Structure 1
């Protein structure tokens, strides 16, 4: 093996076995969480000392347009990409032996590029580490399998199952419903094994063709990497079976939306103990401070957890999505849920992020809110009992309002990085402005001849 292949994780080495590596994909997640980068022959990758991409990839909108650079003229200087060999994993859907390697972005002086999403998450984790703390997270991924949709003017439909009928809604936790598209699930398992990705469980959610995939708890950067890899892999598995996988927050009218719930706990590095629990096993003040920080700053962080105009269609009553920042023990109607657990496993579940989020940014923003609460020693509102599907001013109702709240929250901007927040605002304002220029079918149907 050459020097660089000796740095590969065990799963990647097992995938290669005695075969020759044909290609390496040098990838990095942009603001949307889309994989950008370049592919090259493995022989060239092994000899290359530097990899470059223009910093403008972080100014590209989801439609492919370019937002204004808030800091300098649009000269597109190169960033230096540094491979993180611990992320190297197979691309098992390709015809040849291909590896994917996530890269970190540095400027030409060797400093982390502040608006790279992976660097934003690392920045937040460094603040915890400076306090002697280490966050632990566990994301839950919800997504829809759908029939192929090649005409954006047509509504999205559920996929056809092996029975010859379209996937049915309101079949949460049904194993028969999962079996309807079992071949896609089989490929997801096989791909995950080849990539060394750990699945904690797969289940049917409440929507037609809606699946939830749970990941085991662990390091936030590694888990964000896993979600990043899973999104790409699940799409590839679906395409093999003539359907789409979508991570849109609300792809089908009348169906539940798709969330990326995030479970958080915080460990004291020196003792290895969960700071959310007192020595006697009760809830600690730190636990309440963390919740308070989320209540006080999540309204602004929604701009990163619900990053598109479609995201806000998920926040409606009685569709299994929270519409508030209340907290409660084992209460799924609250935005902040405290699941049943042992003292060692005590955690807070943030149910606000949509699955359309960039995992690095959603986890970073969620932890940032809790960090502010820990530092300020804030106290939360009283626990909410009963159904929290109530009118609430906690959650902005559109992307424009969410961006305004982020712009006004100086404490959150400081934790995430002011430069990043400025670039993020530029990209998202551009997307929102472009959306507002689109005339919808609803407007043509009800306004064209009636007003």
Structure 2
């Protein structure tokens, strides 16, 4: 890796211009989307082509417990080989010294990709598209809350204190005044993003108290998932500078909307460079409807990946800015599948199911997998829904256990995402869900202790 600094992306080179690089963070996403890895001196990084981490990082639940997912050889914590993808090299501008981050890919000792590493899962799905002559394109939207510092799990989450000295107020969607309340945090988000070479398409106030949305430009699914992975850390670090927390929890505050990661999809015909969803005269193609049908038919089985925690299901509340079913409609934000206004070249399909708490690699992979199955199966979707979809029937699982049942009984989805991934994910999530069921909540103590 001699002279590796001359090969890194331009934004990283600009960040280091005239500076001395001190450290490199070698990172990889685990199942929840937490960055795992090692920080090494820059001089050591220049001499290493790879490093090792145990495969057990993919068997860990969000609480730090373990799922029995190691397979026939048992829990021996076999070392993986992690190799850097230098295209992902970017600044860590919040650190006290000059530090770079590099995302790594995980391989076994034979050089094969670890099948349950989230970035490898997404790469697998993208390659299935490319094998058919298709190039998938996505654009994620990231919703999150800025909240007051909270170090007591028994205490309710509260909105952060705004610049005016008043708590952030709800029901001010798209308000520029509300955005201004978070000005210092947003300024740091912009500064960090610029240092990292990320292009923000816009920041808006959402409907919740202290809730913001950041839109990213459309592009390659792996690159965009990398950016969301990086952005979660970037936004948290910006918030901490201003005495507040950034949370990507799906439903952090009762009676407020939840936070989604809406995913816009289009597919390019590699041979022609044309949008597969639009015909020569600009009309909607069969592929457009097949993709929608794939989402309708397979998203129920994928919701356990896009809504990965017990809290995720608190987001799907009628009339609360999240879908309750998988109806589809044009320019209709009450449906789970939305077709936004666009010209034919930009025609796309928006999946509004995924929560912001999902792993971006896995959330995008699952959504693409459903669309891919639709393109292969060539089925038609249900009739377009017109009107308020909240008046329709709910068909989204209401608890994690039901979603896992659907995921475990979905061989077609497993084939696209990878059977080993499906096995490990199911075991880890079952362990997590079982652990949650052992917890007695304040609601139970309040209403059942003396009344039943």
Q: TM-score, normalised by structure 1?
A: 0.99
Instruction: Say which SS state the counterpart of residue 389 (structure 2) adopts.
Output: coil
The residue number in structure 1 matching 2:212 is 211
- The alpha-carbon deviation at position 6 of structure 1 amounts to 1.8
How many matched pairs? 451
Instruction: Say which SS state the counterpart of residue 311 (structure 1) adopts.
Output: helix
Partners of 2:105 and 2:416 lie apart in 1 by: 20
Partners of 2:275 and 2:345 within 8 A in 1: yes
Partners of 2:37 and 2:70 lie apart in 1 by: 23
Partners of 1:129 and 1:8 lie apart in 2 by: 26
Partners of 1:279 and 1:396 lie apart in 2 by: 39
The residue number in structure 2 matching 1:399 is 400
The residue number in structure 1 matching 2:281 is 280
Partners of 2:367 and 2:396 lie apart in 1 by: 14
The residue number in structure 2 matching 1:36 is 36
Partners of 2:125 and 2:417 within 8 A in 1: yes
1:192-231 equivalence runs, <5 A: 192-231=193-232
Partners of 2:135 and 2:270 within 8 A in 1: yes
The residue number in structure 2 matching 1:142 is 143
Partners of 2:325 and 2:49 lie apart in 1 by: 49
Instruction: Say which SS state the counterpart of residue 344 (structure 1) adopts.
Output: helix
The residue number in structure 2 matching 1:7 is 7
The residue number in structure 2 matching 1:267 is 268
Q: After TM superposition, where is structure 1 displaced by more than 6 Å over at least 4 residues in a row?
A: none
Instruction: Say which SS state the counterpart of residue 82 (structure 1) adopts.
Output: strand
Instruction: Say which SS state the counterpart of residue 26 (structure 2) adopts.
Output: strand
Instruction: Say which SS state the counterpart of residue 288 (structure 2) adopts.
Output: helix
- The alpha-carbon deviation at position 394 of structure 1 amounts to 2.5
The residue number in structure 1 matching 2:375 is 374
Output one character per residue of 1:373-397: Cα deviation in whole Å (capped at 9) or x when no partner: 1001011000000000135352111
- The alpha-carbon deviation at position 409 of structure 1 amounts to 1.0
Partners of 1:262 and 1:406 lie apart in 2 by: 20
The residue number in structure 2 matching 1:171 is 172
Partners of 2:270 and 2:313 lie apart in 1 by: 37
Partners of 2:451 and 2:230 lie apart in 1 by: 48
Instruction: Say which SS state the counterpart of residue 200 (structure 1) adopts.
Output: strand
Partners of 1:42 and 1:351 lie apart in 2 by: 41
The residue number in structure 2 matching 1:364 is 365
Output one character per residue of 1:164-221: Cα deviation in whole Å (capped at 9) or x when no partner: 1100000000000011110000000000000001100000000000000000000000
Q: TM-score, normalised by structure 2?
A: 0.99
The residue number in structure 2 matching 1:418 is 419
Output one character per residue of 1:224-265: Cα deviation in whole Å (capped at 9) or x when no partner: 000000000000000000000000000000100000000000
- The alpha-carbon deviation at position 163 of structure 1 amounts to 1.0
Instruction: Say which SS state the counterpart of residue 391 (structure 2) adopts.
Output: coil
Partners of 1:372 and 1:203 lie apart in 2 by: 34
The residue number in structure 2 matching 1:245 is 246
- The alpha-carbon deviation at position 277 of structure 1 amounts to 0.5
Structure 2: gaps (5+ residues): none
The residue number in structure 2 matching 1:152 is 153
